[in-house]
Structure 1
Amino acid sequence: MTASSNEPSRRLAAVPDVDPAPNPHATQEQVEAARTDTKLAQVLYHDWEAETYDDKWNISYDERCIDYARGRFDLVAGDQPLPYERALELGCGTGFFLLNLMQAGVAKTGSVTDLSPGMVKVALRNAEHLALPVDGRVADAETIPYEDNTFDLVVGHAVLHHIPDVEQSLREVLRVLKPGGRFVFAGEPTTVGDFYARWLGRITWEATTRATRLSALKSWRRPQSELDESSRAAALEAIVDLHTFDPADLEKIAESAGAVEVKARTEEFAAALLGWPLRTFEYAVPPEKLGFNWARFGFTSWKRLTWLDETILRHVVPRRYFYNAIITGVKPS
């Protein structure tokens, strides 16, 4: 079922005028409560990560990430006329996807929403620093607090796998899109890709934290309090990552929600096999130990392996084996 003129519009009367404040330091009691409350877990985990998220994932708002965001968009919607007048980012995090797409000329103005107050705060701060016209709200992706037919484009990065009811969320996306409007969601983990990425991450974390217990490598060990907090965050992460997707199944979900012109692409196979150990290692050691040369090595390696993935491997490896899925669709006119 898709949104139509016969369905009741969602009004904003029930939306609070003041967004809740971020809670960046979840207690053990809150973590325990979140084990049985998925949306509480989402808020606690992403509030905890908000202020350090860009550093953790090497997110920037310069040419490197502008090109990355535009590249993900162009993989599934590169033939569309630009710019879109008004865009929404669902589950915005720190605003990485929308803000870089706006800098790339994909959209003129933007709105950001996230269930985490901490993430919305950081996204709006990033938009202000970039002098981009963006507003934002703390919001549930299953009940988006905007009127019908508001946006020309809805985007998201690594958000659908956090949402309990993905099809309901996509219905909401179609409701707030104008007829003919498009959505693009990137960075969604495939089922096979998530399996090998998690195992690579666990092995790298265990090896690094064990090795840095040795006296010769003591200076490479993060303070125990930081490792303990990371472990607590990891416990929440296991709760907030609700889904993985087979690309074909993701297309069916979007079509069932009412979208047309649905298409899924996947990316990062060789790049993911290297990327996940590198990212995990970076987070397991003090950041001052890794300088510019390490960052250049990581980025250059990722670029080369991405070229290998796109030029050769995508022609011989089934798409479900790649790590990231990108899905696009259009609201019927």
Structure 2
Amino acid sequence: MTASPDDRSRDRAVDASAVDDPAPHPHATEAEVEAALKDTKLAQVLYHDWEAETYDEKWSISYDERCIDYARGRFDAVAGDQPLPYERALELGCGTGFFLLNLMQGGVAKTGSVTDLSPGMVKVALRNAENLGLPVDGRVADAETIPYEDDTFDLVVGHAVLHHIPDVEQSLREVLRVLKPGGRFVFAGEPTTVGNFYARWLGRLTWEATTRITRLPALADWRRPQAELDESSRAAALEAVVDLHTFDPTDLEKIAESAGAVEVHAETEEFAAALLGWPVRTFEAAVPEGKLGWGWARFAFGAWKNLSWVDENVLKHVVPRGLFYNVMITGVKPGK
């Protein structure tokens, strides 16, 4: 006998409450990395577990006004005309909770749930939520089989997650299933095809230049310990496996519509800001922790913010949207 959709939905709900989540696994062996090169979902777990405890620092993520404004800015860019707050929101591929937790602090949602394939990321996201005093629960979960009942959430969000999912259309079908009729999804931080090309090359060139020049004796104190560089190289090998997609904005809109969404709309951002941002982030990751100091952080954020203003107010009107680095997309579950 074939299970009905309602039966499958109940099964997911039982599984979500009854199964203990696996423990984080932050240090992959060479053998595990080798196996993960042929198994993208294993690679997702190993790579993101490896990054979980340092991810916020690596990407300058915070849960204060700076990142609250950033998260609200991404949300408002594609869904800013909606009445707020949403009652219950889900973050898919939550990472450390950056997007949902800052959106909740920004008044977008009252309560939240976080899911990620990486146990390490879910652990950090829930810890961040607890530290902020936010009402959030979480599950280790595959984005292609979300472990919640139909019509559960008013809003589903994600940041830099769709490009990690093997079957994006299937995942969006699941998103629409767990949304209530009339519920909305907002995904941001996804790489465009052209943007990913130039960002990758800028990152590789910066990493190579920094690690080479810091071999000079006079710059030895700017070089990270070799063991850390080796571990970063192993993580980079996994990164090539976990980043599965880039998106043309129009094609991403078509995928969302094919999954069943209505009122679908995509926006892009970061062109000049990305040309600066990727070398800056890579340089920060290549030198010892704490070496650059607060002055550097102020410079990097200020420059990114200024170039983002140029992108939004000048370049957006003359540069084709497919050339920008990030794409954001929203859509609605029909039926309300």
TM-score bucket (shorter structure): over 0.9
Give 5+ residue unaligned stretches, structure 2. Answer: none
2:295: which partner in 1?
A: 293
Instruction: Give secondary structure in 2 for the equivalent of 1:289.
Output: coil
Q: What is the CA deviation profile of residues 135-185 of structure 1, one whole-angstrom value per residue up to 9, with x for unaligned ones?
A: 000000000000000000000000000000000000000000000000000
1:236: which partner in 2?
A: 238
1:119: which partner in 2?
A: 121
Following superposition, the deviation at residue 6 of structure 1 comes to 7.2
Contact 1:9 1:148 in 2 (8 A): no
1:322: which partner in 2?
A: 324
Give 5+ residue unaligned stretches, structure 1. Answer: none
**2:95 is equivalent to residue 93 of structure 1:** yes
In 1, distance between residues paired with 2:274 and 2:165? 23
1:48: which partner in 2?
A: 50
2:162: which partner in 1?
A: 160
Look up the equivalent residue of 2:229 and give its one-letter code: L
**2:32 is equivalent to residue 33 of structure 1:** no
In 2, distance between residues paired with 1:10 and 1:167? 18
TM-score by length of 2: 0.96
**Bigger Cα displacement from structure 2, 7-16 vs 69-78:** 7-16
Q: What is the CA deviation profile of residues 187-230 of structure 1, one whole-angstrom value per residue up to 9, with x for unaligned ones?
A: 00000000000000000000000000001111100000000000
Following superposition, the deviation at residue 9 of structure 1 comes to 4.6
Alignment of 1:57-68 (within 5 A): 57-68=59-70
2:260: which partner in 1?
A: 258
Look up the equivalent residue of 1:307 and give its one-letter code: W
Alignment of 1:45-194 (within 5 A): 45-194=47-196
Look up the equivalent residue of 1:139 and give its one-letter code: A
In 2, distance between residues paired with 1:180 and 1:141? 21
Instruction: Give secondary structure in 1 for the equivalent of 2:276.
Output: helix
2:9: which partner in 1?
A: 10
In 2, distance between residues paired with 1:86 and 1:289? 41
Instruction: Give secondary structure in 2 for the equivalent of 1:254.
Output: helix
Instruction: Give secondary structure in 2 for the equivalent of 1:143.
Output: coil
Look up the equivalent residue of 2:120 and give its one-letter code: G
Q: What is the CA deviation profile of residues 302-329 of structure 1, one whole-angstrom value per residue up to 9, with x for unaligned ones?
A: 1100000000000000000000000000
**Percent of matched pairs sharing the same residue:** 83
Following superposition, the deviation at residue 287 of structure 1 comes to 2.1
Q: For residues 321 and 17 of structure 1, do their structure 2 counterparts lie closer, same or farther at Cα, with a shift above 3 Å needed?
A: same
Contact 1:95 1:126 in 2 (8 A): yes
Alignment of 1:197-216 (within 5 A): 197-216=199-218
Root-mean-square deviation (CA), in Å?
1.1
TM-score by length of 1: 0.97
In 2, distance between residues paired with 1:118 and 1:183? 25
Look up the equivalent residue of 1:167 and give its one-letter code: E
1:245: which partner in 2?
A: 247
Q: For residues 14 and 288 of structure 1, do their structure 2 counterparts lie closer, same or farther at Cα, with a shift above 3 Å needed?
A: closer
Instruction: Give secondary structure in 2 for the equivalent of 1:61.
Output: coil
Following superposition, the deviation at residue 288 of structure 1 comes to 1.9
In 2, distance between residues paired with 1:9 and 1:184? 25
Following superposition, the deviation at residue 266 of structure 1 comes to 0.3
Instruction: Give secondary structure in 2 for the equivalent of 1:243.
Output: coil
Instruction: Give secondary structure in 2 for the equivalent of 1:286.
Output: coil
Instruction: Give secondary structure in 2 for the equivalent of 1:21.
Output: coil
In 2, distance between residues paired with 1:126 and 1:40? 25
In 2, distance between residues paired with 1:275 and 1:123? 24
In 1, distance between residues paired with 2:249 and 2:93? 20
In 2, distance between residues paired with 1:322 and 1:271? 9
Look up the equivalent residue of 1:263 and give its one-letter code: H
In 2, distance between residues paired with 1:320 and 1:195? 12
Instruction: Give secondary structure in 1 for the equivalent of 2:114.
Output: strand
Look up the equivalent residue of 2:9 and give its one-letter code: R
Look up the equivalent residue of 1:179 and give its one-letter code: P
Q: What is the CA deviation profile of residues 72-129 of structure 1, one whole-angstrom value per residue up to 9, with x for unaligned ones?
A: 0000000000000000000000000000000000000000000000000000000000
Look up the equivalent residue of 2:288 and give its one-letter code: P
In 1, distance between residues paired with 2:216 and 2:238? 29
**Bigger Cα displacement from structure 2, 127-136 vs 8-17:** 8-17
Following superposition, the deviation at residue 10 of structure 1 comes to 1.9
Following superposition, the deviation at residue 17 of structure 1 comes to 1.8
